[in-house]
Structure formats: C-alpha cells, structure tokens
Amino acid sequence: MVKKIHWDDVPTEQVAPKMQRKLVYGEKVMIARMQFKDGFLVPLHHHENEQITQVISGTIRFWFGADKEQQMDLNAGESVVIPAHVPHEALMIGDVEEIDTWAPIRKDWLDGTDDYLRK
C-alpha cells in the first residue's frame, strides 16, 4: 500500500541530549531526519547498511576507515555515499540538520540496540 507521510506528523525521538531524529521506513529502505547540537560526536562504527548522508544545515566532519585515514567536511547542500561496512565517525560543527538514507533498514535503530549513540 502507498502511504503519504509529512515530516511534521512523524514522532521525534530524543536519542541523546544533543541528538534527535524522525524515522520513515519501508521494508528495504529507511530515511532519518536528524538534528544535532554543536559538538555531538558519532563514534567510529560500521554497519551492513549502505548510507547516504545529506546535510541541510551546518557542517559534519567525517573520518573514514578503521584508522580514520580519510577526513571529509560535508556542508549544507552536500551529500556523501558511504558503502556498507566502511568504518566512519562524525563530528557536528555547529548545529546540524541532515537526512540519512539506508538500505537495508537500520534494525538496531528500531529495536533500541544503537547504544553507541545514546550517551
């Protein structure tokens, strides 16, 4: 069944004091609209999901690789495609609003086992 969704109707989850998100998902893909406060750090992690991050406002500094050998700043209007299983870390520079898309869906985000974010 096709379903129309407006972001204003999606509940906001306060994941951590400096992070909140809204989730929209189907069977195979998930979109998260997130807001972060300046200085929030997403610790180095990896997952089976391919990820596309789109920055709406602010800047995200990413590090990629097990030794964080590649660094990239992503600014408003820019996107990055992160292949499955690539280790990555992210620091929010200023307040950030962004949209992440994953395939397959992030089951850890639905069942609450995403402990690395809940600090």
Tell me, what CATH number does 92's domain have? Answer: 2.60.120.10
70 Cβ contact partners less than 8 Å away, ≥ 6 residues apart: 63, 64
Q: What pLDDT sits at residue 59?
A: 98
Kindly report the average pLDDT of the chain as a whole number.
97
Q: What pLDDT sits at residue 31?
A: 98
Q: What pLDDT sits at residue 11?
A: 98
Q: What is the pTM of this model?
A: 0.94
Report yes or no on 104 lying in a domain.
Answer: yes
Residue 101, pLDDT above cutoff 80: yes
The count of domains in the chain is 1
Report yes or no on 8 lying in a domain.
Answer: no
Report yes or no on 7 lying in a domain.
Answer: no
pLDDT digits (tens, 9 = 90+) for 38-65: 999 999 999 999 999 999 999 999 999 9
31 Cβ contact partners less than 8 Å away, ≥ 6 residues apart: 23, 24, 25, 99, 100, 101
